[in-house]
Amino acid sequence: MKIFAVDTNYLQHNKTLSSSFSKPEAPVIFTKCDTALLKDGKPFFIPDTLGNIEYETELVVRICKLGKTIPTRFASRYYDAVTVGVDFTARDLQKRLQEQGLPWELSKGFDGAAALGTFVPLDKVKPIQCLRFRLDINGTTVQEGFSGDMLFKVDEIISYISQYFTLRTGDLLYTGCPTGCAPVRINDHLEGYIEEQKVLEFNCK
């Protein structure tokens, strides 16, 4: 199983990081190792050596068939379900690595850094680019997004990734986060929703 993720895929989020942000020519892709996956409601143990750990709430789609160099017009055939995930980011470490011009996978791919909710079949939700999603922490909504605001749509991302990697059944795609990232704390209770359906719930330890 491979875990793919997209950076800088929502305009407002990126404007909070840089006032001069402009849409990149292609999706910015990074990967997480399989030990980053956190599912089935298991707690997220906040690393005590990586500085601030921030949540990034994202829609996640599940790849359902083998594919390579997939045309965008056929990409919808290659995923069958969607959920909410959290791309945890060691923000201090990421900034330090970026300033040094170094790869920043260490800040994104550590153990537990890819929280994953329960998948919902695509035929049970609105079209993939018409979904609202959110994250609540301790009963308060802290991050909201609308998939129609993505700079690169899901089908475009899948087509792009498949030029470099063979997609296999069970691979995951984290599609980017909207604005509103902030650190998590010990004892935080996180709940993720697609529209009004809760698909993700776990605690921070």
Question: Encoding tokens for residue 201?
Answer: 């719930």
Residues 6+ apart with CB under 8 A from 102: none
DSSP SS3 for 198:
strand
Residue 202 near residue 44 (C-beta atoms within 8 A) = yes
The beta-strand segments (E) located in the chain are 3-7, 28-32, 37-38, 53-54, 57-63, 79-87, 89-90, 114-116, 120-121, 132-137, 140-146, 172-174, 189-194, 197-203
The neighbouring-strand residues paired with 6 are 29
Contacts of residue 204, Cβ cutoff 8 Å, sequence gap at least 6: 43, 44, 45, 46, 184, 185, 186, 187, 188, 189, 190
- Produce one character per residue of 34-58: b if its CB has 16 or more CB atoms within 10 Å, e if not: eebbbeeeeebebeeebbebbbbbb
Cα–Cα distance, 126 to 194 (Å, whole number): 10
Expressed in percent and rounded to 5, the helix, strand and coil fractions of the chain are 20, 35, 40
pLDDT in the model for residue 8? 86
> Could you tell me which of 169, 152, 157 has the C-alpha nearest to residue 67?
169
CATH 3.90.850.10 for the 3-204 domain, yes or no:
yes
The residue ranges of every structural domain in the chain are: 3-204
Verdict on whether the full-model pTM lies above 0.85: yes
pLDDT at 128: 97
Under 8 Å between Cβ of 14 and 150: no
The pLDDT profile of the chain, 205 residues, written as one tens digit per residue, is 999 999 989 976 554 555 566 777 899 999 999 999 999 999 999 999 999 999 999 999 999 999 999 999 999 999 999 999 999 999 999 999 999 999 999 999 999 999 999 999 999 999 999 999 999 999 999 999 999 999 999 999 999 999 999 999 999 999 999 989 999 999 999 999 999 999 999 999 9
